[in-house]
Chains A and B, each alone.
Chain A
């Protein structure tokens, strides 16, 4: 099929398309139309949901199949990632102790007394319960974490028991997944700090129980992120040790 489908032609094929019952050339033409037509995309999603009920025969997968899948995860790291892509627990861990040599840049910066702090007027968009999360934010965060162009920082607590992850897109939009951090009392808040150019720059006041958060951070020179525990309302500069800290993963 060498030409573009009209809306009516594409719509006519949507049922068959959703059941994988079109020829390859038709499929390509429909997908081209779907890129531009939200109404047809919604219809395909509906058809596929119906089909999923037909296909939900249930039953058990064969024994041992999961072990083979789990085994293949290590052999096949995510192909789109340019950054190190081994599972989180196996990733290069940054220094877990503030001031330790292995995380010299980030740790040194966060430990600097009197470092100049620029408090960005960040617009922080957060949700408190991922289970009732705005799917748009979850989806955006998922995209950012999977984006090979994103700058990605895995943060760990000094004792290694807590972690958080940040991904910063080239347009300055960042996402922090911090649902591993324990909730604080109402008079406290977590605060995100960007470590850049020898400074710690506030990238957002996160609240007492951040889960998934979107933030803005435009300046260049990022070398890492840290999260501190501050009194409610946040601070313009901090002397507190980070709850979690991590350096930028180089591609």
Chain B
């Protein structure tokens, strides 16, 4: 590919160029998605240095293993965010981070500023996505928020909400299906294949 065409390149073309060791292609992927990858990791880990570590790992992995991205299974953004989320959750669940988080939660609770629902409402996500999330039955929405933004397992969510594990598991799944249908209905269907 002509390097000057990178800005218009599709996900698949971009990743193919990365497989050919075109650093400019990786830079373009970072330009498009680096901010979102960082923001998600930062949100989960609440510590900038750890979030930066996640971003580095995610893009280094794309450089080393570009073939792990399958354009038929979703956009590059979706892939990178899933990688960022997975790595951030791994860190979150590590012993050291768990201790740090407990300390942070204790501190924030003491200061009265920590409110995960408030944080979710403050997210700079698109209006459609906010609306779709808000339209979910509250039990489904709460389970998804705690799992995705809180980094909790569905078992931990069940304990937190004092609900049966099986119920939480099902609500996460049905909530995600409902959101997908709503997003498509809201005219965001085109983004499913967008870079």
The interface of chain A, by Cβ under 8 A from chain B, is 12-16, 18-23, 41-42, 45-62, 65-66, 68-70, 72-73, 76, 78-80, 85-88, 130-133, 135-136, 138-139, 141-143, 145-147, 165, 177, 179-180, 211-212
Between-chain CB contacts (< 8 Å), 6 pairs: A15-B172, A51-B81, A59-B39, A78-B65, A135-B71, A147-B67
B residues 47-90 in Cβ contact with A at 8 Å = 48, 52, 55-56, 59-60, 63-67, 69-75, 77-79, 81-82, 84-86, 89
Is B101 an interface residue, CB under 8 A from the partner? no
Please report the C-alpha to C-alpha distance between residue A177 and residue B84 in the assembled complex, in whole angstroms. 30
Please state if B56 and A15 are interface contacts (CB–CB under 8 Å): no
Please state if A52 and B35 are interface contacts (CB–CB under 8 Å): no
| Chain B residues near A142 (CB-CB < 8 A) | 12, 15-16, 19, 66-67, 69
Please report the C-alpha to C-alpha distance between residue A177 and residue B15 in the assembled complex, in whole angstroms. 13
Please report the C-alpha to C-alpha distance between residue A50 and residue B189 in the assembled complex, in whole angstroms. 11
| Chain A residues near B74 (CB-CB < 8 A) | 45, 48-49, 52
State which of A68, A130, A136 has its C-beta within 8 Å of the C-beta of B56. A68
Min CB distance A84 to B, Å, is 11
13 additional contacts (CB under 8 A) given A21-B153, A65-B56 = A15-B172, A51-B82, A57-B123, A57-B124, A59-B36, A62-B52, A69-B26, A69-B60, A87-B22, A139-B72, A142-B15, A142-B69, A145-B19
Please state if B72 and A135 are interface contacts (CB–CB under 8 Å): yes
| Chain B residues near A177 (CB-CB < 8 A) | 16, 20
State which of B67, B126, B168, B192 has its C-beta within 8 Å of the C-beta of A146. B67
B residues 5-23 in Cβ contact with A at 8 Å = 8-10, 12-13, 15-16, 19-23
Interface size class of B (residues with CB under 8 A): 35 or more
Mark B85-99 against chain A: 1 for CB-CB distance below 8 A, else 0. 110010000000000
| Chain B residues near A79 (CB-CB < 8 A) | 64
B residues 149-172 in Cβ contact with A at 8 Å = 149, 151-155, 157, 166, 168-170, 172
The interface of chain B, by Cβ under 8 A from chain A, is 1-2, 8-10, 12-13, 15-16, 19-23, 26-27, 30, 34-40, 43, 48, 52, 55-56, 59-60, 63-67, 69-75, 77-79, 81-82, 84-86, 89, 123-126, 129, 133, 144, 147-149, 151-155, 157, 166, 168-170, 172-177, 179-180, 183, 188, 191-192
Please report the C-alpha to C-alpha distance between residue A237 and residue B173 in the assembled complex, in whole angstroms. 61
| Chain B residues near A62 (CB-CB < 8 A) | 38, 48, 52
Q: How many A-B residue pairs have CB under 8 A?
A: 234
Please report the C-alpha to C-alpha distance between residue A142 and residue B1 in the assembled complex, in whole angstroms. 13
| Chain B residues near A179 (CB-CB < 8 A) | 1-2
State which of B16, B81, B129 has its C-beta within 8 Å of the C-beta of A130. B16
State which of B48, B71, B77, B89 has its C-beta within 8 Å of the C-beta of A52. B77
Given A52-B75, A141-B16, A142-B15, A73:B192 Cβ within 8 A: no
Chain B, residue nearest A75 (CB): B60
Given A15-B173, A146-B67, A177-B16, A56:B126 Cβ within 8 A: yes
| Chain A residues near B133 (CB-CB < 8 A) | 54
Please state if A133 and B173 are interface contacts (CB–CB under 8 Å): no
State which of B59, B125, B168 has its C-beta within 8 Å of the C-beta of A54. B125
Min CB distance B167 to A, Å, is 11
State which of A54, A66, A138 has its C-beta within 8 Å of the C-beta of B16. A138
Please report the C-alpha to C-alpha distance between residue A43 and residue B2 in the assembled complex, in whole angstroms. 35
Please state if A131 and B89 are interface contacts (CB–CB under 8 Å): no
Min CB distance B140 to A, Å, is 10
State which of B36, B52, B59 has its C-beta within 8 Å of the C-beta of A55. B36
Please report the C-alpha to C-alpha distance between residue A58 and residue B129 in the assembled complex, in whole angstroms. 13
Please state if A136 and B72 are interface contacts (CB–CB under 8 Å): yes
Please report the C-alpha to C-alpha distance between residue A47 and residue B169 in the assembled complex, in whole angstroms. 13
Given A15-B172, A54-B148, A55-B85, A80:B37 Cβ within 8 A: no
